[in-house]
């Protein structure tokens, strides 16, 4: 009796599993990792983003025994984005280069200011010498004009 019950149970079990529709699972998983490096002056930002595209589904075929049957595909698409790293660092070498360039520009500016001051001083000195020469020439000319011959009356000054 036990053997007969087991045989019937196995037959029933085989019948149940064979009568269900055939189903084939389809799983497609695509992973993309993007690394983005952004430099702003001496600040370096590194971002790493992991993007996972999943397609899960099944190919469903009718449960009859016909060959070359029509089938249906049930596909579900899912996209996950995950930030793996988000680092912000300071590029010390670039920072040093920026500081050296700034110092060089400041020194050049100071030298330029000093050169302009020296040039202005030299021009002022030349103008002062020209003014002295004009005043001297004017004074000599005045003395010549004030000096009159013996028969001419001297000039009167207007106050």
Whole-structure pTM over 0.85, yes or no?
no
For the CA atoms of 103, 106, 110, 116, the dihedral, rounded to the nearest 10 degrees, stands at: 140
Q: Both 43 and 69 in a single domain?
A: yes
Does 4 map to a domain? no
Residue 111 has pLDDT above 90, yes or no: yes
Tell whether 1 is covered by a domain.
no
Domain range for 137: 91-147
More confident residue, 58 or 135: 135
Q: How far is CA 5 from CA 10, 17, 19, 117, in A?
A: 9, 18, 21, 117
Last residue of a domain, one of 90, 109, 127: 90
Residues β-bridged to residue 24 = 59
Mean pLDDT: which of 26-30, 35-39, 46-50, 111-115 is highest?
111-115
The two three-digit tokens of residue 33, written as one number: 């990792």
Determine the pLDDT at residue 134. 96
d(CA 54, CA 49): 16
pLDDT given at position 148: 66
At 114-140, the pLDDT tens digits run 999 999 999 999 999 999 999 999 999
**Ranked by mean pLDDT, which of 56-60, 77-81, 127-131 comes out on top?**
127-131
């Amino acid at each position: 009796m036990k053997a007969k019950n087991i045989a019937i149970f196995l037959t029933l079990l085989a019948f149940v599993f064979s009568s269900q529709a055939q189903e084939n699972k389809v799983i497609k998983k695509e992973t993309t990792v993007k690394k983005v490096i952004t430099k702003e002056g001496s600040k370096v930002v590194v971002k790493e983003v992991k993007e996972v595209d999943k397609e899960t589904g099944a190919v469903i075929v009718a449960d009859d025994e016909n060959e070359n049957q029509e089938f249906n595909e049930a596909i579900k698409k899912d996209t996950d984005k995950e930030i793996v790293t988000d680092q912000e660092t300071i590029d010390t070498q670039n920072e040093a280069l920026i500081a050296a360039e700034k110092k060089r520009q400041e020194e050049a500016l100071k030298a330029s200011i000093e050169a302009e001051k020296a040039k202005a001083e030299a021009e002022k000195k030349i103008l002062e010498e020209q003014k002295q020469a004009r005043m001297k020439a004017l004074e000599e000319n005045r003395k010549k004009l004030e000096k009159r011959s013996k028969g001419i009356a001297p000039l009167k000054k207007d106050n």
